[in-house]
Amino acid sequence: MSGFVDEAQLNVRGGDGGAGCVSFRREGPVAFGGPNGGDGGGGGDVWLVATRNVASLLAFRDHPHRRAKDGVHGKGKDQHGKRGESIEIMVPEGTVARDMYTGEILADLVNHGDRWLAAPGGRGGRGNAKFWSNRRRAPIFAEQGEHGIEKWLKLDLKLMADVALVGFPNAGKSTLISTISAAKPKVADYPFTTLEPHLGVVRVDSNTEYIVADIPGLIEGASEGKGLGHQFLRHIERARALCVLVDLAATDGMSPSEQERILLHELENYDPEMLERPRVVVGTKSDIGADADWDGMRISAPTYQGVRELVAHMATLVSQARESQPEREGLVIIRPEVDGSIVERVQEGEFRVRGRAVERVVALNDVTSPEALNWIDERLKKMGVDRLLSRAGAQEGDVIWIGAFSFEYEPDL
């Protein structure tokens, strides 16, 4: 079953980096020449890319996992591994990506082509050739590949439209959008015929066109979450202008003026800024209902009465709104890696060292190799970890954690 999906969960994971290689040149009678182990390739990245060619988040409903390719391991003879292939995940314009657990907005992909690096791939490990030095002539260790970043995201789609059609159920929104555009939503004479938003392109002439969104009918209390209120109202957030439809043939005794009052009240309750946008209020079904109390614009979509005038009026509102509102810019949260390290006391006799660079030193190396352990120890000292632990009050024999690795603290004498 297909349809419009405007919310989805997405699991993204960057590819793992390839491992570096331990290798030595064989030169005639010399069993071990210099090291020539190549580096592993970096893991592929996962990107979210906004495109106008995708209409909903349907693709993630039953298949929420996306993973980039892993990097290839390094080889001897200084052969570096190939980088893992990155992937681009296409999402509709207007997609907001949030951290699924905290709700924090990470990216707001508004325009066609907006890109966000959702899950970076892991760094490839360095081969033993990179650890050669005058003191270490024959390094017998290399780095492992770094794991790619993994995240669970919550995706929300907020439709990108110039005009949002707002009204009670069965007010004639679907009939109007099918009349003025190529959109063909379901139309029937019972409430809540439309259960999902529809977009239609209205072409006034060769130089003028705008996008209209048919928003499913609101009910009183929608702004407080009644019915599917919030789910529908959020699709109005990005509209430049509003077209409020009131039913001149309403059978529930609600006058057009009362309909207008309630609809505007719901919009204001949800977001007061909505009432500051250009809007037109239109009486629908003028062919079967002629409420004497209504002196505003009237239309009949089936007979096309007043439709041409409404289309022209909405074009004017959109033109004015486009001039007063700059092109929307997408939002991408960029968090630079925090430099430096910190030490936290976990409990009595136990400390944890945090910091991207420090954790990488441990995570990428083989802690079962004595030579690799010596190199880790040298690196940590150069990074000032010993000084940080001493200042934090670490004593000989205390347990020190770096990532998933732990060791007993032995201060320098």
Nearby residues of 79 by Cβ (< 8 Å), 6 or more positions away: 21, 38
Same domain, 127 and 172: no
Phi, psi of 135 (to 5 degrees): -85, -25
In this structure, the strands spanning 342-347 and 350-354 are: antiparallel
| Chosen domain end from 280, 297, 324 | 324
Identify the three-state secondary structure at position 167: strand
User: What is the Cα–Cα distance from 358 to 351, expressed in whole angstroms?
Assistant: 14
Same domain, 167 and 218: yes
Residue 254 identity: M
Q: What is the CATH number of the domain that holds 51?
A: 2.70.210.12
Same domain, 368 and 396: yes
Same domain, 62 and 103: yes
Same domain, 229 and 93: no
pLDDT computed for residue 90 by the predictor: 92
Nearby residues of 278 by Cβ (< 8 Å), 6 or more positions away: 240, 241, 242, 317, 320, 321
Residue keyed to tokens 């906004």: 50
Q: Is 333 within a domain?
A: no
Instruction: Tell me which residue of 99, 102, 73 sits closest to 15, measured CA to CA.
Output: 73
pLDDT computed for residue 155 by the predictor: 93
Same domain, 77 and 182: no
Q: What is the pLDDT of residues 213-254, one digit of tens each?
A: 887 766 554 444 444 445 667 778 878 899 999 888 876 778
| Chosen domain end from 290, 324, 358 | 324
Q: Is 88 within a domain?
A: yes
Same domain, 205 and 353: no
Contact 158, 94 (CB under 8 A): yes
Instruction: Tell me which residue of 334, 191, 174 sits closest to 254, measured CA to CA.
Output: 191
Per the structure, the complete domain to which residue 243 belongs is given by: 163-324
Strand locations in 285-385 (E)? 297-298, 331-332, 342-347, 350-354
pLDDT computed for residue 222 by the predictor: 44
Contact 327, 93 (CB under 8 A): no
Phi, psi of 357 (to 5 degrees): -65, -45
Give the other-Cβ count within 10 Å of 363's Cβ. Answer: 20
Neighbour-count burial of 117, counting CB atoms closer than 10 A to its CB (0-12 exposed, 13-18 middle, 19+ buried) = middle
Same domain, 315 and 361: no
Same domain, 260 and 368: no
- Looking at the structure of the chain, the number of domains it has is 3
Q: What is the pLDDT along the chain (413 residues), one digit of tens a residue?
A: 344 577 889 999 999 999 999 888 876 665 556 888 899 999 999 999 988 777 778 888 888 999 999 999 999 888 999 999 999 999 988 889 999 999 888 998 888 888 999 999 999 989 988 888 877 788 888 888 889 999 999 998 877 778 988 888 877 888 888 888 875 544 444 344 445 677 778 888 777 788 888 877 665 544 444 444 456 677 788 788 999 998 888 767 788 888 889 889 888 888 888 888 899 999 888 877 665 678 888 888 888 899 999 999 999 998 888 887 666 666 666 665 555 678 888 888 888 988 888 888 888 877 777 888 888 888 888 888 888 888 888 888 888 888 888 888 887 65
pLDDT computed for residue 336 by the predictor: 56
pLDDT computed for residue 183 by the predictor: 59
Q: Is 347 within a domain?
A: yes
For 220, how many CA atoms within 13 A lie in the half-sphere containing its CB?
A: 6
Q: Is 180 within a domain?
A: yes
Same domain, 149 and 168: no
Same domain, 31 and 16: yes
